[in-house]
Chain A
């Protein structure tokens, strides 16, 4: 039982890491970036190409992986997000879906449509504590997730830049009136989101030790579900819901079977939206 909990927390970390950035951009820009989860995959492949294949080494490869995710995120912002009218969800959806096609299929072509194994960032150790198996890579992911989530939360609440981001997220027009450079704040939110996705992706790949170009297809929907159930823009909520989803999935696989594993989050999303359209912790309330 507790073992499932631990496994669930590790799985949940991935959902949290992706949902954090997704919900930040959603909150600040009111836009959903379908290609967000692809940044995680891109970071891992960049790490493999530069760190492993080009022989730059683990640490430089790690840094360059994160840089690649940030660069790609910035490009998506400049080319698509900042140009599309957010009042037209269809254009946003199709545009970022196009970005996703481009990233996934170009990477896939480069690796000849094959999955790759990822060399560990550090030597894996497994601890046996009271009959439970815990690896240091699990701990690394969990600690990094908590650190990034809580750090982001604190930064938004306490720093002056975080305050500006919150202002833009609540009311973009009024933010212009009080002299905030809203375009810059939106770009900043995308950069932070991409960095978290890249950093998180590398730590998760270190645990799962494999990556394929189409991995985003599996996790994207869960990322949406976590962000929507928590309430778009709610960073703390995304953490709670992400971990909860990981644990529930892990328990479901153990006691119900793996059949329904992938729809639990989706069903939770539908259920929450029936009764609380703004999400569990959300303030986002579109009038009309």
Chain B
């Protein structure tokens, strides 16, 4: 009897371990893919495994990282922000314009970053308080923001590349470590804390998970949306300021729409639910890293541009398939 009982117990534990391993694979698949890509690249590409290359990757992808981190709040709350690329463009332009206007590079940088707050808030009011569809609303406001950015520069660009203070933020490095990477890390830590540890973070998750239940739990959907879009706007304008500060030339950003979509893709690739309510800030970091490493890998391996596009698309697709099937409980 005792042997049988013992056998039974062990068997159930084995199954439990198996289940847990499967669940872990599903939950952390993005981590596995990033690590796998990293290992493969280290073994196959000569010039991949160097601190300088890693830092270059982080530097080049800081804008995407920041926008994606901000977008995580919006997606977690069950909405979309399609205007982030344009906010980035506008934020960058405004910083150069203001720095030029008042003659202070520091004031200019601060102004450009700060303007993300009212801009994001505008989106938040439209979506949260007026209950407009976020997809269409931010598509429209994005057009407006992009237009305003063009208006500010009047078709020309504002050249501050000679101002060493203005370009410090975007181009300085402590040794090999770029300031942009440090800023990304700080923003991640702050956003992670806000989403995971605060009342606001809980409410973002609740609104994304079930808006009606959130409302009947005494949560103001309007306030949550305003907060989420505000953080999204702030992160985007910060990213824009970094970009402009890197070159010192205040011009509108050409890849705005692509960046918006890549940021959303990074959030979802990380494993955050596209319908809201489920996800985490660290996931977005891995989503961005996956896109960034892939880009870097294809460059180093000298893939033709069209192959780069095709492979990137397929990898994103694969990640989404894994996540979607996973959330349906089938993987």
Answer yes or no: are A and B bound together in one complex. Answer: no
B: which residues have CB within 8 A of A? none
